[in-house]
Structures are given as structure tokens and as C-alpha cells.
Amino acid sequence: MAAMRPALLLAIALLAVAFPAFSQNAAIQISQLRVADVPVHPLTHDTTDPTVAFPELFPMQVALYWSSDDENPLAMIHTLREMGVPFFVTRDIDQALRHRLIIIYPDVGPKTFTGPQIEALAQHIREGGSAFAVNALTGAVKPLFGFRDAVASRRRFRVDFVPNSDAILRYLNRAEEQSVPLGSTKYADIFWTNGYTPAANATVLARYDDGSAALVRNTIGQGSTYLCGISYHEVVLRNQVNRDYDAERHYANAFEPGADVWMLLLRAWYESNTPGGVRLASIPDGQDSVLLLSHDVDWENSFAPMLDFARMETAAHARSTFFIQTKYVSDANSVSFFYGKDLDYLRQIKALGGFTVGSHSIIHSRAFNRFDLGDGAESFPSYQPRGTGFDSATGATVFGEVRVSKELLDGNLAGQRTIFFRAGHLRFPPSLPEALVRTGYLFDSSFTADDVLTHFPYALPLGLDFDEDSGLYEFPLTFEDEEQPPLPQRIDAMLDVIRANAENQAINVILIHSNQAGPKLAAEQTLLRELPSDVTATDLQSFAEFWRGHERLRWEVQPGSAANKLRLVVTAAEAVSGITFEFQKAIAEVTGGARLLPDRHRIVLPALAAGENAAFDIGYAD
């Protein structure tokens, strides 16, 4: 045998010490794994003032009036961005009044407005404007927002919407959307809400379980106001960081829109109150939804069946993302397998073309959510974690699991750039966003959609907290294959969830473990065959890259050369294709290479290069 390099000898020695029974052949193969350079970047914080980050650009924008320092506007920013509603943030009520629609957030207190400002807002409404306010309490605005009294409580656990009572409820057409838990009754108290007694001329659109009004509409002149007694901090952002009060009715495999209903309210409010409104659609290429295919490969016998799934998907004109456990240690839970023939199987997947690969950690521990962050110096082969039991581990850190797995995937797969992570057993430590963003990841899929109560992708906050986004995007899982009944018996139920999400332009993410093909492969094949025509199946990572480009797209609407024309101007921060815009008015023609869809209310832009500026002239039919 040729002389061994010092690093190779070190790796074999470490493996031999940790696992005396470990075969020398396996130890040598593992020690020969190539290691890519994975820098650990300093943690940076975005301190940009929201009024600067989201500036006023054109009249069609919603004015998000930031009324108080008591709460940052991050929850409302998430909502409007995910719904594709154009908006800007302001602390100047006069600037806000230049726009037809105004959101007042996070509250309306006794010092929010002066008397003349209240009258200016009321006049704006009388002339056809609309305001959506959250937690109005001061008596001076009671006539404007249509309430006589407000009672605060931490013991309201459900909201029931009144179906068909207003255009802003247009998306809430299913039972799961019309009655929404706020938290479990196992808690004595949850977050604060305000319950309203409506004025005689106001309309109640939703009530709490105690009978008080949660959402009230008041008509004034040609316009209207809407008053919500629940902070979006509590029903959107709290859910997205998984710090809710167990409001979910299911953990996975069901339609659970507990956060989505509040976002859809504002989408419908914008659409129904903005003649000629324009919105950035959430699904590419004019589709209504997507089925995003993914597989977790986390067992030594899961690699060979990968090829069966990949070949079937190729035949079905689909692709998937494989999340790979890079296990190079044997421990109490399983043997090592990231070497030899299993690594060869993975290379065959890459050679098929179009399939993407993400990290699924190293030891796939149920204790991952309790791991310390680590120091970022963790590297192969010195990082030697091991599971010591069902939900315990030693020598493991969050940095180690994400950085070292990326070192190995990028180092041993030609052309691989690992930017997607999924935690083993979907266990999510609060430090995970920091570890991921500092080691070059862009995306995560470690929550279930039902658990975080949303079927939309979203910006993942740093530290699972409420203050700032991390720069990552989360793609919550809709379906998984381990819950009973078995996957082949759940096709109809999954199709119903997919149709529900298509009604809202939300996504569907499916996880199928590749531990065996057989019935699970046949079930996926049936699901792909029976998908609605307006739902596309593709790999999770490709859509994630679209979503990042979608979220970073800057756009504005400018006047056209005639009254029935406008110009859409976009700037792409990075390459993106399939960008779709929706228009309230019917379109007769569009320039710039954009594709007008048959309904004449949507256009699909041509592929945009990173940094590209493009303009599209829109001619309306009337």
C-alpha cells in the first residue's frame, strides 16, 4: 500500500477509536472523501429602516402606515410580499393619504392621529378610499371604524368568518378557512386579542368564540374601513416561526390555512378595492399551483431505490430534490453509508440531469433541535458526532451538521452547490437559520405546512424570532409518507389538498423517503398522473430558486401613452423565469416578449437575467 497522507491517517485513526469494529476498508473509503471549502461568514444584521427598504414608487401601491414603535411591521411585510401586493412603508400619514388603500399597523391608539388627521382620513374614505386597521382602541376613531366598544382578552381561541359577507372573504370558501383556531384550549391564556361591539351601521365579518367581533366593515360615503382585532404578528409571524399556541388541527397531510386566511384577506381587499390593480402572482408560468417533489435519503438501503424514483419521474417529465444524509460515522442508531456504492448511486442521480441535491444532516438526530450552535470550525474528519440513543447524541453541533454535510456533498459530487437543507426528523433548533445562512445555504424545508399553518413559502426569521429575516426562505412540507394510512390510500385526500392550495395560489411540498420503491413509487406515479392541469410537478430546489428571484424582483407600474395603457417596469436582482403578473382589467395586447394568457388577465414575462431591467407596455381591452 502506498504511503498514506497525514489527513488520511488521522481520519482512519479517528474512525478506529470511535468504532473499533469498523472495517479498515470502509474506514479507508470514508477517509478518502473529498472535502470542499465551506467558509463560515460573519453574521450580518439588516438594519435598514423599513421606510427605506420599501419606498413609495407608484400610486397603485398600498400605503402601510407604521403607526407605532411598539411593534415592527415585519408580519405585515411578510403578508404583502407573499401575496404579491405592491406596497410601501411610511410613517407619514399625509404620504399615505396619497394612496387609495391604507393599512394602519400595528394599532390605532390615542396618540396615533390628531383630530385633523382623523378627519383627513375620514374624508379620504368618503371619497372612495379604504383603510384596513388593526387593533383600533381610541374613542376618537370609533365612528370611522364602526365600533362602540373594545374588550381585550387572552382567552379567545377561535375565529369564525361569515361566509360571503364581503368581497375580502372571497378566498375563504372551505370549512378549514371559515373557522380558524387561534390556539389550543389546553392553554389558560394565549396572545391578546380585541373583541369589538359593532356600531349599528357596521357589518361583522368574523366573530370570536366568545361572540365578540373579530373583523368589522364600516361603509362611509363611497369607501369603507375594515377593523381587525388580531395582530398579524400573532396570526402570521408567530405561526411562521412555530411559536404558536398549538393552533394546528393536524401536523401534516392536511389543509391547514390558519395563517393563510389572514394574508388572503388582504390580497382580496387589494383586488376588490383597486380598479385596474396589478399583482405579482406566486406561481410561475401562469399555473395555479405546484407539486414540489422531494425525497429524504437517510438509510443505508435508501440509495438504490433513489434511481427507481428518478427514472419514473424522468418518464413523467418531472424532477425531484434528494436530501442526503452524509453519514460517515456508525453509532447507536445506524451504520455509516456515505461512501462506496451508495455514493456511486448518488452520482448516477446527478448524471441523469435535472435532479437537485440538498443536505439532510450527518447523524439525523431527533435531538437536533437541542444541539448547541457550535463554533463554525467543525470540519471533516475531526467532526465526530454520534447518536447515543433514540433522541440523544454526543459531539454534535448545528454548525457541524450543516457545514460538514455541505463539505462532503460539494466535495464529492461534480458541480454540486448545496444550498438546501432539511433537518432529520424535521427537528428545528432556533440557531439553525444562523448556521445555514453563515455557511452559504439559501433554503430550508424543515417545517410542516400544517404545523406552521401556512402553505406559502416565506422569509425565515433569524433565531425563529420576530425581529428580522435571516435571508433564508422556508418551504414547508405539505405531505409526507410515514403517517397512516399508507401513501397509496391517500391519493384522493392529497389531490383535495392540492386543489385547495391551487385556489389560493399556494404550493404543495411532498416528502417520500426512498427506503423502498414499490407501493410508494406507484402512489407518486398515480399522483403525478392525476394532478389537475393547472398544477405543475417539479423539484423543490428549482421552485425555491424561482421564489428567491420572485421575492427579489423590483417592479412598478407607470402611466402608458394613453388612458387605456400602462407600462410595467421590472428589475431582476437575479436570474428568474416564469414571472407572472395578474391584472384586474382585461388585456388586449402586451409588448416586450411577454406572453398573454388565454384569460387575458395574466401575462408571463420572458426569462430575466440577473440585473436586467425590462419594460412591458400593456394595452387594456377597454
Is the confidence at residue 1, as pLDDT, over 50? no
DSSP of 566-580: EEEEEE-SS-B---E
Is the confidence at residue 161, as pLDDT, over 50? yes
Alpha-carbon span 264 to 548, nearest angstrom: 21
Alpha-carbon span 478 to 457, nearest angstrom: 11
Predicted local distance difference test score (pLDDT) of residue 11 = 52
pLDDT digits (tens, 9 = 90+) for 87-143: 999 999 999 999 999 999 999 999 999 999 999 999 999 999 999 999 999 999 999
Predicted local distance difference test score (pLDDT) of residue 364 = 97
Is the confidence at residue 177, as pLDDT, over 60? yes
Given 3.40.50.880, 2.40.10.10, 3.30.365.10, 3.40.50.300, which CATH number is that of 50-280?
3.40.50.880
Sorted by sequence, the CB contacts under 8 Å of residue 290 that are 6+ apart come out as: 283, 284, 507, 508, 535, 536, 537, 538, 543
**What value, to the nearest 5°, has the Cα angle with vertex 173 and ends 168 and 174?**
140
Task: Report CA torsion sign: 329, 333, 338, 344.
Answer: positive
Give the number of residues written for the chain.
622
Question: 264: which DSSP letter?
Answer: H
pLDDT digits (tens, 9 = 90+) for 43-101: 999 999 999 999 999 999 999 999 999 899 999 999 999 999 999 999 999 999 999 99
Average pLDDT (455-478) is 97
**What value, to the nearest 5°, has the Cα angle with vertex 423 and ends 363 and 511?**
115
What's the half-sphere exposure (Cβ side, CA atoms, 13 Å) at 127? 11
Task: Evaluate whether 418 touches 55 at the Cβ level (below 8 Å).
Answer: no
Between β-strands 356-359 and 321-324, what pairing exists: parallel, antiparallel or unpaired? parallel
Predicted local distance difference test score (pLDDT) of residue 22 = 52
pLDDT digits (tens, 9 = 90+) for 11-39: 545 555 544 445 778 888 998 999 999 99
In DSSP terms, 87 is beta-bridged to 62
- In 3D space, the residue among 621, 564, 567 whose CA is nearest the CA of residue 594 turns out to be 567
pTM exceeding the 0.85 threshold for the entire prediction: yes
- 174 by Cβ neighbours in 10 Å (0-12 / 13-18 / 19+) ranks as middle
- In 3D space, the residue among 399, 439, 403, 447 whose CA is nearest the CA of residue 422 turns out to be 447
Q: For cell 411578510, what's the residue?
A: 78
Between β-strands 613-620 and 565-571, what pairing exists: parallel, antiparallel or unpaired? antiparallel
pLDDT digits (tens, 9 = 90+) for 198-230: 999 999 999 999 999 999 999 999 999 999 999
3-state secondary structure of 473: strand
Predicted local distance difference test score (pLDDT) of residue 253 = 98
Predicted local distance difference test score (pLDDT) of residue 20 = 47
For residue 599, CA distances in Å to 84, 582, 587, 603 come to 19, 10, 9, 10
In DSSP terms, 582 is beta-bridged to 279, 602
In whole angstroms, how large is the CA radius of gyration of the chain?
26
In angstroms, how far is CA 547 from the centroid of its own chain? 9
Average pLDDT (305-327) is 97
Between β-strands 443-444 and 469-474, what pairing exists: parallel, antiparallel or unpaired? parallel
pLDDT digits (tens, 9 = 90+) for 357-375: 999 999 999 999 999 999 9
The dotted CATH code for 289-548 is: 3.20.20.370
Ramachandran angles phi, psi of 599, nearest 5° = -75, -10
Q: For cell 395603457, what's the residue?
A: 565
- 564 by Cβ neighbours in 10 Å (0-12 / 13-18 / 19+) ranks as middle
Is the confidence at residue 547, as pLDDT, over 90? yes
In angstroms, how far is CA 441 from the centroid of its own chain? 15
- In 3D space, the residue among 600, 601, 602, 605 whose CA is nearest the CA of residue 616 turns out to be 605
pLDDT-based confidence at 534, cuts 50/70/90? very high
Is the confidence at residue 457, as pLDDT, over 70? yes
Sorted by sequence, the CB contacts under 8 Å of residue 6 that are 6+ apart come out as: none
Instruction: Indicate the residue type of 313.
Output: E
Predicted local distance difference test score (pLDDT) of residue 28 = 87
Q: For cell 393552533, what's the residue?
A: 247
For residue 5, CA distances in Å to 2, 8, 15, 27, 32 come to 9, 5, 16, 14, 10
Q: Chain-wide mean pLDDT for the chain?
A: 95
Predicted local distance difference test score (pLDDT) of residue 365 = 97
Higher pLDDT, 6 or 399: 399
Q: For cell 456504492, what's the residue?
A: 341
Helices (H), 482-531: 491-504, 518-529
Predicted local distance difference test score (pLDDT) of residue 218 = 98
